[in-house]
C-alpha cells in the first residue's frame, strides 16, 4: 500500500489550528514576572497623548466615536507589554496585568495633570481626574489587546469618559456634552428606567436633561419643545426643576404653540386658495406643480405641528391631573 501523501500534507504547520495553538500557549496560572509588570508603571508619554486625544476638558476631542480604528491602533501602540507576553495570559495573568495597568494609568495622570488640564481652571483632585480616565482605558485595553474584541469598545470608552467627566464639572467641551446628552436621551426613550441611571444623572455636575427641559419651555422650535414635553413625566424622574414650575411655564409654551398652529393653518388655507388662481386654472405645468408643492408643504407643517403639540399637551395634562389628585388626597388626609 502506498503512503497517503494527503494525510502527510495535512500535518503541515500551515494547517494547524491557530486558535488551538493560542489556547495551548495560554497558561491559566501564568503571571508575568514583577520586572515585566513594572513596565506598566513607567512614565508613558504616549498614554498622555492618547488621553489628550479623548480629553473632555480640552477645547475639543481629536478622536470621536467614528475614530475607532485610530483609537484601537493608538491603544496597541501605547501598551507596554509585548504580544509574546499578552498571548500567554490566562485569567490570573490578565487580572494581574490589568490591575497593574490601572495603577500605571493613575500614576501617569497624577504626574501629568497639568498637561491633561492645560489652561483650564478646574478644581479637581488627582484621584477624581484619574477616576475619569482609568477604568474606561483599562476596559478598552482588555477588549482591544487581550480579548481581541473591538466592536463598539472605542465609542463606549469615549462615552464613559465623558460621563465621568460630567460628574466632576459642567465645564466640558461640546463633544463631551453631546455624548452625555445622547446617552441620557436614549435612556429617556426606554420602556423601563433603571434607578441606577437616575442616581448616575443626579450625581452629574452637567445637568443636561435639566438644560433640555429649560430650553424646551422657551424654544421657538415646535419640534424641540414637543419632543421634550411629550416625555415630561420621564424627565421629571431625573431633573431638579420643580413640577409646579414646569406646569406654570407650560401654559405660556402651549399658548405660543397654539398660535403657531393657527398661523400654520392660515398659511395652508392660503395655499389652498391658490387653486383658484389664473396660473393654476390655466394649467401651466410649472405653475401647477409649484402650487401643489406649496400646498403639500404647508399641510405637512400644519399637521405635524398640530399632532406633536397635541401629544405633548396630553402628557402635560396628565401630569397636571396627577398633581391635582395628589393635592386633593393630601388635603383629605
pLDDT for 331 beyond 60: no
* Angstrom distances, CA of residue 191 to CA of 187, 200, 231, 240: 9, 18, 11, 22
pLDDT digits (tens, 9 = 90+) for 230-272: 999 999 999 999 999 999 999 999 999 999 999 999 999 999 9
Question: If you count them, how many residues does the chain have?
Answer: 333
**Burial profile 188-227: b = 16 or more Cβ within 10 angstroms, e = fewer:** beeeeeeeebeebbeebebbbbbebbbebbebeebeebbb
Task: Kindly state the cell numbers that stand for 102.
Answer: 490601572
Q: Flag the least confident range among 8-12, 17-21, 123-127.
A: 17-21
pLDDT at 25: 55
User: Residue 241: its pLDDT value, please?
Assistant: 95
Q: Quote the CA–CA distance of 299 and 289 in Å, as a whole number.
A: 15
pTM of the predicted model, to two decimals? 0.82
The angle subtended at Cα 38 by Cα 35 and Cα 43, nearest 5°, is 140
Q: What is the pLDDT of residues 161-220, one digit of tens each?
A: 999 999 999 999 999 999 999 999 999 999 899 999 999 999 999 999 999 999 999 988
CB 303 within 8 A of CB 326: no
Amino acid at each position: 500500500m502506498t503512503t497517503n501523501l494527503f494525510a502527510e500534507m495535512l500535518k503541515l504547520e500551515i494547517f494547524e489550528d491557530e486558535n488551538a495553538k493560542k489556547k495551548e500557549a495560554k497558561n491559566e496560572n501564568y503571571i508575568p514576572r514583577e520586572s515585566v509588570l513594572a513596565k506598566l508603571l513607567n512614565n508613558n508619554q504616549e498614554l498622555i497623548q492618547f488621553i489628550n486625544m479623548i480629553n473632555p476638558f480640552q477645547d475639543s476631542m481629536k478622536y470621536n466615536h467614528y475614530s475607532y480604528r485610530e483609537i484601537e491602533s493608538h491603544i496597541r501602540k501605547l501598551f507596554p507589554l509585548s504580544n509574546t507576553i499578552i498571548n500567554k495570559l490566562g485569567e490570573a495573568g490578565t487580572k494581574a496585568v490589568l490591575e497593574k495597568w490601572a495603577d500605571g494609568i493613575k500614576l501617569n495622570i497624577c504626574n501629568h495633570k497639568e498637561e491633561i488640564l492645560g489652561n483650564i481652571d478646574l478644581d479637581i483632585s488627582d484621584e477624581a481626574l484619574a477616576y475619569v480616565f482609568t477604568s474606561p482605558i483599562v476596559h478598552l485595553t482588555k477588549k482591544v489587546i487581550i480579548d481581541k474584541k473591538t466592536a463598539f469598545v472605542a465609542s463606549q470608552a469615549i462615552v464613559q469618559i465623558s460621563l465621568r467627566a460630567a460628574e466632576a464639572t459642567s465645564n466640558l467641551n461640546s463633544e463631551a456634552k453631546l455624548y452625555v446628552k445622547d446617552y441620557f436621551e436614549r435612556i429617556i426613550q426606554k420602556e423601563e428606567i433603571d434607578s441606577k441611571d437616575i442616581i448616575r444623572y443626579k450625581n452629574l455636575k452637567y445637568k443636561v436633561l435639566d438644560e433640555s427641559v429649560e430650553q424646551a419651555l422657551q424654544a421657538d422650535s415646535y419640534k424641540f419643545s414637543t419632543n421634550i414635553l411629550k416625555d415630561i413625566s420621564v424627565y421629571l424622574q431625573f431633573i431638579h426643576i420643580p413640577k409646579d414650575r414646569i406646569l406654570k411655564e407650560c401654559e405660556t409654551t402651549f399658548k405660543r404653540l397654539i398660535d403657531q398652529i393657527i398661523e400654520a393653518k392660515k398659511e395652508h388655507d392660503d395655499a389652498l386658495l391658490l387653486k383658484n388662481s389664473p396660473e393654476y386654472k390655466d394649467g401651466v405645468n410649472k405653475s401647477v406643480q409649484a402650487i401643489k408643492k406649496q400646498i403639500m408643504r404647508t399641510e405637512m407643517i400644519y399637521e405635524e405641528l398640530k399632532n406633536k403639540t397635541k401629544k405633548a399637551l396630553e402628557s402635560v395634562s396628565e401630569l397636571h391631573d396627577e398633581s391635582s389628585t395628589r393635592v386633593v388626597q393630601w388635603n383629605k388626609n
